[in-house]
Amino acid sequence: MASEERGRGRLLHNMPGLLQASLNPWLVRVRNNPERLAFVLHRVTGVIILAYLVAHIFVTSATVDEALWESVMGALSGPLSRVGEWIVAGAVIFHGLNGIRLILVEFLGLGVGRPERPKPPYVPPSLRSGQRKGLYLVFALSLAGWALAGVIMFAG
């Protein structure tokens, strides 16, 4: 724990840190906040996709030679890499759908409600307006899309 000198005592730095904040959606155990879960999933899927992208750039460079490509594809045709591919597919589906929602909310400022005079039960507009319905839609479509991707990849 880092601490800093101030007067007689030291201040205790009380921050959960990047890993806790970006991996634990229940760091703050508050109800009515699925946006936090979406934030964690968006960040985790983003890192998964970036790792895949970098690997993908190197793997596809093997396409310049037919024999090399066949050997690389042979090495990557096992069930383990197939499951890994399916996880990346799910990550892309969620990141893409939630990304559309985030563009609407963060870029265009849509779906966060209008400022109002607070009244009981004091649920802020942004937690009950369009973006929340969109978020539930994102979760539902992501699960459906992930299942569909599984059908295409494992049965197709």
Site for other proteins, residues 25 to 84, rule: CB under 8 A: 26-33, 35-36, 38-39, 42-43, 46-47, 49-50, 53-54, 57-58, 60-61, 63-64, 66, 69-70, 73
Q: What whole-number distance in Å separates Cα of residue 84 and Cα of residue 70?
A: 19
CB of 93 to other proteins, least distance (A): 9
C-alpha to C-alpha distances, 104 to 50, 96, 135, nearest whole angstrom: 23, 13, 12
Q: What whole-number distance in Å separates Cα of residue 75 and Cα of residue 58?
A: 14
CB neighbour list of residue 6: distance below 8 Å, 6 or more residues apart = none
Footprint of other proteins on residues 104-143 (CB under 8 A)?
Answer: 105-109, 112-113, 115-118, 120-127
CB of 140 to other proteins, least distance (A): 19
Q: What whole-number distance in Å separates Cα of residue 91 and Cα of residue 42?
A: 8
Q: Is 147 in the site for other proteins (CB under 8 A)?
A: no
CB of 142 to other proteins, least distance (A): 14
